[in-house]
Amino acid sequence: MNRGVTLKTKFSRIIASLMIVVILFAVIGLTLKDVVKDVNLGLDLQGGFEVLYEVNPLDEGDEIDETAVKSTASTLESRVNVLGVSEPNISVEGDNRIRVQLAGVDDQQEAREMLSTQAELTIRDVDDNVLLSGADLVQGGASQNFDETGNPMVSLELKDPDQFRQITEDISQKPQGENLMVIWMDFEEGEDSFAEEAQKENPKFVSAPSVSGPINSSEVMISGGFSGEEGLERAQNISALLNAGSLPVELEEIYSNSVGAQFGEQALDETVTAGLIGVALVFIFMIAFYRLPGLVAAVTLAVYIYLTILGFNTISGVLTLPGIAALILGVGMAVDANIIMYERIKDELRIGRNLKAAYKKASAQSLWTIVDANLTTLIAGVALFIFGTSSVKGFATMLLLSILMSFFTAVFLTRILLSLLVKSGYFNRKLSWFGIRDRTRHDINEGKEIEDLSTPWDRFDFIKHYRKFFAASIAMIIAGAAVLAIFRLNLGIDFTSGTRADITTDGSATVEQVEQELEEMDIPPTSITTSGEDSFTARYNTDLSQDQVTGMQERFSELYGADPMISTVSPVIGQELAQNAMFALALAAVGIILYASIRFEWRMALPAVLALLHDAFIMIAVFSIFRLEVDVTFIAAVLTIVGYSINDTIVTFDRIRENLRKVKVIESEDEIDMLINRSMRQTLTRSINTVLTVIIVVVFLVLFGSTAILNFSIALLVGLISGVYSSMFIAIQLWGILKKRQLRKNDGRLVVYEEKKKDEEKILV
């Protein structure tokens, strides 16, 4: 009977874990389509444009205050609503800036003109004297109609019909040719004049009807200046602009980014495909290496991706290309949390514990290691969010959300599923399902400790050659500094200002042909390079005007069926981005030092940050040597690597701290060397497996992802490799040097912990 109950309990827990998995995947399967559909894609994924306006006074002596900026933003929002753009993003930044993001706009030129035009209507005589202004019109009283012949026209409602009657009576008494009522939009004093514009085929004024007598009406009918489809569109825009209100300020574009719909769709397909292949390979690696726990990890990773996208929708996030990269990279963090615990389970099993005891011990020991590793990465993400702008802030949002979701799934969901499987008792004698062979296990009665276990790295002495590692790093830094001094960084327009145009062709065009097309448009590029089989990048040292941007888009869309992606940055924005990048890196470094000092000791915190700076410099040096372009996403890559590198370093330091508790007292420098070697050997498999899973994904992003984030992906790849190196051969070795110095100051005897009440232990700083 007892055996029957045991079997019943055993299988009920396995079935419970399977039911949890089935329910989770059923929910994902039923809702995934809607969740993905609700994702708010950014400009780089669905096309559209982003522009940052600086709000300046219209007249000298006027001041721009908070009320004026908010009023301008409200007017811009009214104009955007006329365009019918879904989920526009209009936000006030600082004291006098407004950022407008419009995704999925069909006619970008129309949208830009509608946003930036002054929309001040005036009715003047032939001598350019003002007869009526926008102040004389009823707000919201403009409408687009058709005249008796079916041609488009604009109707305006007047506040004072008597005033209009008097004006028309005065004009009607003037000689023929002068009895005109000239209607202007955005008349510029000193530049525009009726006499000059009347000689042109396409005059700037809207209409100039003759007046033969006084008009008794509360409406002004503007007709004659609109013909065909273009005329109808113009009439609709004028009425919409007048109803949205005029802008009492001048808007200066200081940053703009324009992406064609085809470019965005291609970038989305390429990046998602590359990411999915990379993630699938991570799943295969985890299952092959960790067996049953690896299968649990694959389940929780799938749930992590779903929950992260769902959470991103909940906070109304805007998904960009770097955001997809952050989501995919979050898989690496979630994998890391699993690997930390799985490696501890394997160690506990090897010293002879039974499966249940091994799981309980490993779960408790690994929890704070995972917390420390995730919190330090979180610090880098917060720094990115505070100082990031536009797509970088979106990347930071996704990174922060990924950290939280990976912690939730890897800590709670993994533990729930694994706990049910372990406590079922079914796998007690099937430890091969956990990657353990019987011949590698010891008897628990032998009294073996984890530090006594052999590792694949026992023949490596990591301390013996630390001077060589330091020399290699110093040589790399000197070489990098020399290259940097000679060649400088290949800064993109994000930092240097100017215009960048990414042009996609049908594969038949050459660099010379594209350059010739640009020259024929009278916008010869400063430089032009090939950025793919069918892609070219043209750069300009100056900002292209709206008309030039529109002309380029129309020309290449007609030639190759794809709008170029065009970014324009003013010098002031470039300087601010550079400053913000430095602030973000400094904030991340200070935050990590403080946290690591509180949780560990300053001798661990300082080397950790020096290793991070080492990684950042290596990334900069590589980009300088290979002349790769440094843009704003490069900063995101640097701070991401800061988070990953500190993650790896913290895990090793955590093992050092754990081993210190067992040593109790250090009386020689050799003991410190042994401690470092032992800790590194115990954690190296975890470090390699973690970085390998992330590198798999990043390599696929480099090879098959969108060219728009190619340099970003390369920066991550370089940083990941450098991060593993610096954690092992810089940070840990520096801690050893500082600890030996502390030992010498304490006359060759260092008490590393003291007994406290209830057998608590505390590492002494």
The CA-CA-CA angle for residues 125, 127, 130, to 5°, reads 50
What's the pLDDT score for residue 248? 66
The DSSP bridge pattern shows strands 249-259 and 565-569 to be antiparallel
DSSP code for 708: G
Residue identified by tokens 């091994």 is 358
State mean pLDDT over 154-167: 83
pLDDT classification of 673: cutoffs 50, 70, 90: very high
Query: What is the pTM (predicted TM-score) of this model?
Result: 0.76
pLDDT tens across 301-324, in order?
A: 999 999 999 998 998 887 887 788
Tell me what the mean pLDDT of segment 339-354 comes to. 91
Q: Cα-flanking dihedrals φ and ψ of residue 430, to 5°?
A: -125, 55
Tens digits of per-residue pLDDT, 689-742?
Answer: 888 888 888 888 888 887 778 888 898 889 888 988 898 889 999 999 999 999
- Helices (H), ranges, 108-172: 108-116, 161-172
Structure tokens at 376: 């330090």
Task: Residue 315: name the closest of 38, 636, 25 by CA.
Answer: 38
What SS3 state is found at 611?
A: helix
Output the pLDDT for position 250. 79
Architecture of domain 118-246: 2-Layer Sandwich (3.30)
For strands 750-751 and 665-666, give the pairing: antiparallel
pLDDT of residue 1: 42
Q: For residue range 631-668, list pLDDT tens digits in order.
A: 877 877 887 787 777 777 888 888 888 888 888 788 89
| Tokens 């020309």 sit on residue | 555
Tokens 């610090």 belong to which residue?
379
Residue 103 has pLDDT above 60, yes or no: yes
* CATH 1.20.1640.10 applies to domain 469-488+576-763: yes
Residue 197 token pair:
């514009």
Q: Write down the residue that tokens 């505070």 correspond to.
A: 386
Distance (Å) of CA 240 to CA 55, 71, 235, 609: 22, 17, 9, 56
Residue range 177-196, pLDDT digits in tens: 888 888 887 788 878 888 88
Q: Please identify which residue in the block is written with the tokens 């913290």.
A: 650
Q: Do domains 2-41+261-439 and 498-569 have the same CATH topology?
A: no
Could you report the per-residue pLDDT of 554-603, keeping only the tens digit for each?
888 888 888 888 888 887 776 777 788 778 878 887 887 788 788 888 88
User: Going along 33-160, which residue ranges are E strands?
Assistant: 40-41, 48-57, 89-93, 97-103, 121-124, 130-133, 143-146, 152-157
Q: What percent of the chain has pLDDT over 70?
A: 93
pLDDT of residue 287: 93
Rounded to an integer, what distance in angstroms lies between the CA atom of residue 728 and that of residue 608?
A: 10
Judge: domain 43-105, CATH 3.10.580.20.
Answer: no
Q: What pLDDT is stored for residue 345 in this prediction?
A: 93
Q: Domain 498-569: state its class.
A: alpha beta
* 2-41+261-439 homologous superfamily: Multidrug efflux transporter AcrB transmembrane domain (1.20.1640.10)
Using alpha carbons, list the distances in angstroms from residue 731 to 292, 655, 660: 34, 14, 17
Domains of the chain: which residue ranges?
A: 2-41+261-439, 43-105, 118-246, 469-488+576-763, 498-569
Q: How many CB atoms are located within 10 Å of the residue 679 CB?
A: 23
Q: Give tens-digit pLDDT for 401-452.
A: 988 898 889 888 999 999 999 988 888 888 999 988 888 888 888 888 887 7
Closest CA to 549 of 55, 56, 111, 42: 111
Kindly give, in sequence order, each residue whose CB lies less than 8 Å from that of residue 722, ignoring residues fewer than 6 positions away.
614, 615, 618, 619, 641, 645
What pLDDT, on a 0 to 100 scale, did the predictor assign at position 763?
Answer: 40
